[in-house]
Homo-oligomer: A and B are copies of this chain.
Amino acid sequence: MLDGLFRPRAVAVIGASANPYSIGHIVVRNLVQYGFKGPVFPVNPKGGVIRSMQAYESILDVPCDVDLVNISIRNVFVPKVLDECGKKGVKFAIVHSAGFKEVGPEGEALEREMVAAAHRNGIRLFGPNSQGIQNADPEVSVYANFTFVPQKPGNVSIVAQGGGMGEMLKLHLHNVGLGHRMYCSYGNECDLTMPEILAYYGQDEGTRVIMMQTESFKDPRAFLEAAAAITPHKPILAIKAGRTSEGSQAVSSHTGALVDQATMAEAMYRKAGVVQFTDTHQMIKAAIAMSTQDPPPGNRIGIITNTGGPGIQAVDESVSQGLELARWSAAGTAKLKDALFAEASLGNPVDVVATADHNHYHAAVSTLLAEADTDMVMVFFVTAPFTDTNAIAMRIKEATEGSHKPVVVVVETFSENYGLIDKLRAADLPVFEFAEDGARALAAMNRDARLRERPREEAPALDVDRDAAAKILARYRGSGSYLPQADAFALLAAYGVPVPKTAAVAGEGDLAAAVAQTGFPCVLKVDAADVIHKSDAGGVVLGIADTEQLNSAFAAMRAAFPGDGVGFLLMEQKPKGRELIVGATASPGLGSLVLFGLGGVFVEVMKDVAAAVAPLSRPEARELMGLIRGRAVLEGLRGEEGVDMDALEDLLLRVSRLAADMPEIVEMDLNPVFAYPVGVAPCAVDVRIKVS
């Protein structure tokens, strides 16, 4: 439990200083200014007076129990101070000081020393190189952080790796009067980890929505588990910095992370039901909407406006973001017709026209909210100079009472009328400036609702021969090389992944027995670990129809690939099916990602590949197939038959299970897999598997 961090009874600030530009000073100021409920103790070995408080020379001099200390002294002094804190019984230490892991090997050593000091003293460390924490819960009101946005209680909690980003999220909640609940920017994450904080937010009753920003995941598996446990109860909105390769390089120079985690993050977010954003502002707007509005039961939006153009912008953006335009029942349309001006448009958007008054707005909003086939409502309102804008605000609010469907309001107005916006916000209605923003906020709420209502299943038990697979892999573990074809196919077969019939061929004498296994037509391949691009090197002969062709193909290949270490493989030639690629790649700290795509131009030109965390559950396997843009191909084009999706699902489950069971597989590439119409099993006709 992190109560000692987020609900401390007393806080000491070690490194508190009279210099108003110092971190220690600002933390003291923030704690006092925002009314921390417990006592604050400035600590400075030189003593002195800080903001009218007498500083203590040592934490040991503080006259009562202290749960939390903020430390902003020189990096090298931190371990020693932690020993004193240990004596004092301190539970949590926020280290603002920088100069640790992020600056190289020397800092890394110092960080290890500091962590050791903390652990021997029973202290959990937050940071270093961190901003600190806040909890705006009025029972605590702790601002143990050196930033500048005023603290006001709200229900959105924020956890950010980067301080600038965390502050940005807090700032823009503040700008719309919402405030926040808990806040932290955690820096180097040397001891206390982001997933622990996330789990704490998840259990906090005052937190309705969580926003997070991450640059790199220290423990992806722990994050995945923490997030998945929270999303059934409350939404998590997330930005992962570094979605482009250039951005990922920038992350690396900011945090020292080496691995590109963008694909992994996307797969984890989906699995955990976390809503991903790429744009900071859009994430904040979604949080604003979710802070007061319930999730929409479906994806059908109703739009009300008093001016045409912004209504169309809302339609374009809604549809682009996956919402559908609701249609009204006959009774609903009749109600609108009765209540609105004759020149009003009764379609979707409902255009109440610029001269509409508060009763027109009330009628439109309440009618749409009562429609069974409308799941959410966006109200656009330009403050035309001939209307009583305050009355309109009041009546919009009244119309939403008693409904659980989300409503957002977009107001186009000049600063003279900002009071109206304040009134709507005070009535717990989210207000935005642009029609597109309203549409996007509702679309994000829909994404969240649809993500969170997905069936959650465990990866199923499968009839696999784990021992056989382990035995094969044992021969290569530690080699860092690719498996020979014969063993790669055998490995897949052990997990029930359909592969062609194969037979190893060492010399000419094996051909007859081999072809008795595979039949004609068959394929002859060279099978050596170092011949990866076999077809480019002339190491594959397709369509061998009879014994004569087989003999001559073998003779030619034997001549082309001489040497003792070279084997050959004879394979059943499968009829051409729909070309797919299925793969797996090790994802450090998480396990493996499964990749799925259509072969050929789809992957080469369109980069149309999707990834998911292994092992897959059945719904996840099904979802993965639906994530590619070319998914219509699976269903069949122009009257062609589609592929056997159940069989493909089974293949994905087995590949994902193999990748998850055998962490030494760093790369697995089934390319192509041929898929066939219903009733015919797919088949992995070529495979590359690399072990660590």
Inter-subunit contact B315/A638 (CB<8 Å): no
Inter-subunit contact A241/B312 (CB<8 Å): yes
- Residues of B within 8 Å of A148, CB to CB, are 383, 385, 413-414, 416
Q: Pick from A118-126, A250-258, A518-526 the stretch touching chain B.
A: A250-258
Given contacts A150-B414, A435-B280, contact A165 B309 (CB under 8 A): yes
Inter-subunit contact B281/A241 (CB<8 Å): no
Inter-subunit contact B312/A215 (CB<8 Å): yes
Given contacts A26-B385, A382-B167, A383-B148, contact A312 B251 (CB under 8 A): yes
Q: How far is the CA of A75 from the CA of B335 in the complex (A)?
A: 29
**Binary CB contact string for chain A from 380 to 400 against chain B (1 if under 8 A, 0 otherwise):** 101101110000000000000
Q: Which of A657-686 contact B (CB under 8 A)?
A: none
- Residues of B within 8 Å of A604, CB to CB, are 632, 637-638
Q: Pick from A188-196, A343-351, A419-427 the stretch touching chain B.
A: A343-351
Q: How far is the CA of A630 from the CA of B605 in the complex (A)?
A: 6
Q: How far is the CA of A159 from the CA of B10 in the complex (A)?
A: 61
Inter-subunit contact A250/B312 (CB<8 Å): yes
Q: How far is the CA of A276 from the CA of B103 in the complex (A)?
A: 44
Given contacts A171-B414, A253-B347, A630-B605, contact A310 B244 (CB under 8 A): no
- Residues of B within 8 Å of A412, CB to CB, are 164, 167-168, 171
Given contacts A26-B385, A604-B637, contact A280 B315 (CB under 8 A): no
Given contacts A148-B383, A605-B630, contact A345 B310 (CB under 8 A): no
Inter-subunit contact B280/A436 (CB<8 Å): yes
- Residues of B within 8 Å of A103, CB to CB, are 343
Inter-subunit contact B307/A163 (CB<8 Å): yes
Inter-subunit contact A307/B602 (CB<8 Å): no
A33 contacts chain B at the CB level, 8 A cutoff: no
A279 contacts chain B at the CB level, 8 A cutoff: yes
- Residues of B within 8 Å of A318, CB to CB, are 246
Q: How far is the CA of A280 from the CA of B313 in the complex (A)?
A: 8
- Residues of B within 8 Å of A253, CB to CB, are 345, 347
Q: How far is the CA of A209 from the CA of B281 in the complex (A)?
A: 26
Inter-subunit contact A215/B308 (CB<8 Å): yes
Q: Could you write out 30 A-B pairs with CB less than 8 Å apart? A: A21-B387, A26-B385, A146-B385, A148-B383, A161-B309, A162-B308, A162-B309, A163-B354, A164-B305, A164-B307, A166-B309, A168-B310, A168-B412, A215-B312, A241-B309, A241-B316, A243-B316, A244-B319, A247-B312, A251-B312, A254-B308, A254-B351, A280-B310, A280-B313, A280-B434, A280-B435, A281-B434, A281-B437, A601-B601, A606-B630
Q: What residues of chain A have their CB less than 8 Å away from a CB belonging to chain B?
A: 21-23, 26, 98, 103, 146-150, 160-168, 171-172, 174, 213, 215, 239, 241-247, 250-251, 253-255, 278-281, 305-313, 315-320, 325, 343, 345, 347, 349, 351, 354, 380, 382-383, 385-387, 412-414, 416, 433-437, 601-602, 604-606, 629-630, 632-633, 637-638
A-B CB proximity, top 6 nearest? A162-B309, A164-B307, A165-B309, A247-B316, A21-B386, A254-B308
